[in-house]
Chains A and B, each alone.
Chain A
């Protein structure tokens, strides 16, 4: 499945590890949330970076104390209409302050991108035709946002407040 970042299509350097497979000492390995919970200490003791892939029902809160040690978190959309991973993404990015790659997998379609970007996703697995081009446009499709989210964009409400303050200062 092609992997996209906003800059374009990229190679996936991560090795997806089956739960039963031995953990290599080096390299970038991506494990399931179950594996992570079982072998957390051993995984952290490795030299290479580690990533965790969650099901959209996994309790993402349990990663809270580890997010600074993770280089990849993968959240899953079993169907594009199943939006649970949006909440997981916001918790990971916003509440837990996770700063590395946040990847969306599964049924990832271009019309979800404006939402995904706002929730903090920055890489996407998708085989939809035209996905790469859509991703380049997705951040600017809407130049106005109403909600504070994980992309740091100023909301319309905040911009209005600032504008009022400017008016006020300039008129007095």
Chain B
């Protein structure tokens, strides 16, 4: 099995995770014996990733910065088989959810996770959540620096943080190391963007107070340029200001975005900078040796030279239209000319977005071992990524993924839908998301048609908590409940691309569940009629506005 090229636990990390499992085992024991009330137990189980859902407990497993080794993915498959029903759901926060966990078995599931240096800590609750990153990190052609180095530094700092374990609300941090933001840093509680200044130094732009949910907001830049070694001091300063002054009187107004909005970005900056001034250069400053030691673990694999142009690949491209489409949509440039980044689509036609069975997970692990340095990424778009595939190996990888049902050439297309679990699983949901995604997926199943429609992001949430990121979908679909009937509100024009981040605008009255496909079809029809040369759906929308789309949708439904 290939060595991993990302952070490896040492005895400190392993000890902490093991002790955490034992602590939780004791807490579960006290809950089952009635020593702890459900109210007292709730935050304890939540910070160990355990939710109580509609039908059962759900375990949300952290996949820090979305990076997995093949060994870890096999273990996840194994855990899903042993403690669940043999499948899992990859989420928009690069985590894996198992939906049918028994409380009394949860500590054993966590112990099994710990065997492969993984945990479910802080995947829920009012704490700093699992930190997310660009899923192309370490392989992307446009990368300034691998953001996962910083995610790992933040992961350690935030794990069981004594001051920030009872925050007003959850807290999400994302890091990108590329100018093309694939981590949606402007819609996180804190977004960190690595960039190089005029002096040639790399530092962070610190963006605070973004988020989706019921009050979507684009984050404000508190700091244009933060020296990297002061990252933890600045984060601690920001979190302290939030912990002290964030609202706690109303759960819907408790996120940091509301604090920033209410006191204003200027005042927020003043408060954070004052706190930071006290901490700067102190115990939280990262010694160069520490940064280097962690960065060293993310050193890219020594990839052998492979040809950039391969006759057999070119030939297959001409012979097989599906392969040609797959190359266009599911294969991205790699920093080395002889390699590509391959996205395994977890959105085959008609399937629930982001689901993978244990057998499929094991299959992807095998492909990663043979053709991608044993490494897999989870994208926030709920797909799996093979980061280091040689051009020469593309045909065999395509066929192998095809056998798993993961070679649908639809990445970035209309059926590459993001959807939350919705009312099929979630206790918060007002409406179902997965069946809506499935019916859109079936309707637009033709790959030729999808490629003609081009890049179009549909994002579906089953309630205003917006786990499906509907605010930033080119087409956003939000499930609402009107007197016991599930209706779907459609919005247009959302975007998470850096510099273009925008929240969608509601098109008009919500439509019935069985009219969603017709509405989407009308939107697409409007675009196809009106699009200019090279325009994507969202570009046409920006140019011509909502009215033509609106007219056609409401004539159709």
Contact = CB atoms under 8 A, between A and B. Distances in A.
B200 interface: no
Q: How large is the interface on B (under 10, 10 to 19, 20 to 34, 35 or more residues)?
A: 35 or more
Interface string B264-295: 00000000000000100001100101100100
A84 B156 contact: no
Interface in B19-74: 19-20, 23, 27, 35, 40, 43-44
Contacts of A83: 126, 163-167, 243
A160 B290 contact: yes
B248 interface: yes
B162 A114 contact: yes
Contact of A80 (B15, B166, B278): B166
Given A87-B240, A87-B244, A161-B289, A144 B162 contact: no
A46 to B, nearest CB: 31
B475 to A, nearest CB: 37
A62 to B, nearest CB: 14
A87 B289 CA distance: 29
Q: Is the interface of A mostly helix, strand, loop or mixed?
A: helix
Q: Is the interface of B mostly helix, strand, loop or mixed?
A: helix
B255 to A, nearest CB: 15
Nearest to B162: A118
A81 B162 contact: no
Interface stretch (A11-19, A26-34, A146-154): A146-154
Nearest to B153: A157
Interface string B236-255: 00001001100010000000
Nearest to B244: A87
B160 A111 contact: no
B385 to A, nearest CB: 28
B12 A119 contact: no
A144 B163 contact: no
B19 A148 contact: no
Given A87-B240, A90-B163, A156 B293 contact: no
Contacts of A109: 40
A18 to B, nearest CB: 27
A156 B162 contact: no
A168 to B, nearest CB: 10
Interface in A140-172: 141-149, 156-157, 159-161, 164
B104 interface: no
A40 interface: no
A36 to B, nearest CB: 20
A20 B485 CA distance: 58
A58 B284 CA distance: 26
A130 interface: yes
A161 B290 contact: yes
B13 interface: yes
Contacts of B160: 114-115, 142, 145-146
17 contacts: A80-B40, A83-B163, A83-B167, A83-B243, A84-B244, A86-B162, A111-B40, A141-B19, A142-B20, A142-B23, A144-B19, A146-B159, A156-B16, A157-B290, A160-B293, A161-B289, A161-B290
Closest 8 CB pairs of A and B: A83-B166, A118-B162, A148-B283, A156-B12, A144-B16, A115-B162, A146-B156, A86-B163
Interface of A: 80-84, 86-88, 90, 95, 109, 111-112, 114-116, 118-119, 129-130, 141-149, 156-157, 159-161, 164
